Chains A and B, each alone.
Chain A
Amino acid sequence: DGGITQSPKYLFRKEGQNVTLSCEQNLNHDAMYWYRQDPGQGLRLIYYSQIVNDFQKGDIAEGYSVSREKKESFPLTVTSAQKNPTAFYLCASFSPGSYTEAFFGQGTRLTVV
């Protein structure tokens, strides 16, 4: 079955540590996205990538980094520079040129301890 897989579902990080969230899709979508959700707020765009080896900053990119070495994979690293990393992170993918919908992973809840 085609879909998006995010891992892990829950992640605990000590202050000062970098952590990497995984996102893999087998839908052959061109574009992939990372969003952050905080309590009571909507989805805010962190980074997105339209093609392999290229990505653009979203609205809240500071303290995060990404890579897109393969079409299927778009990992997100939450660095120690991110001041308030505790949040719910959601990965998505779609093919903009096809005017079809986006698909989402199950999300990763990151907690700084």
Chain B
Amino acid sequence: ILNVEQSPQSLHVQEGDSTNFTCSFPSSNFYALHWYRWETAKSPEALFVMTLNGDEKKKGRISATLNTKEGYSYLYIKGSQPEDSATYLCAFPPIETSGSRLTFGEGTQLTVNP
């Protein structure tokens, strides 16, 4: 089983707080790293697909960084809002499968209190 780990498992913050989560993956097997947001009663939606070491991507108040050499990615949310409450998933498709075997971490469940 491919080891994709996310931390923390859950997080409760107040509206306006900034927060960050971690996704760890096997650095020797890197092809790409995906981040998704999964809101209750909806399908997961993509945030970022990251491919290069040192990559930094941004979408509104959400940004992500990538370190392929040490095998981790950080997702940051600046000024959290209640609508940011969701489970944030990272997914890692290893190069040994030509990037096809899309394996997810357990996710970080974020709750933003008004």
Contacts and interface: CB of A to CB of B under 8 A. Distances in A.
B34 A96 contact: no
Contacts of A58: 101
A44 B103 CA distance: 7
Interface in A33-76: 33, 35, 41-45, 48, 50, 56, 58-59
B85 to A, nearest CB: 17
Interface residues of B, number: 25
B101 A45 contact: yes
Contacts of B51: 99
A101 B34 contact: yes
Given A101-B34, A102-B34, A106-B43, A42 B98 contact: no
B104 to A, nearest CB: 4
B99 interface: yes
Interface residues of A, number: 27
A41, A56, A94 — which one has the most chain B CB atoms within 10 A of its CB?
A: A94
Nearest to A41: B106
Interface in B27-74: 31-32, 34, 36, 43-46, 49, 51
A55 B99 CA distance: 14
A31 B89 contact: no
Interface of A: 31, 33, 35, 41-45, 48, 50, 56, 58-59, 90, 92, 94, 96-97, 99-107
Interface of B: 1, 31-32, 34, 36, 43-46, 49, 51, 89, 91, 93, 97-107
Given A59-B103, A96-B93, A99-B32, 8 more contacts: A31-B102, A33-B102, A45-B101, A96-B100, A99-B99, A101-B36, A102-B34, A102-B44
8 contacts: A42-B104, A45-B101, A96-B102, A101-B36, A102-B44, A102-B46, A103-B43, A104-B45
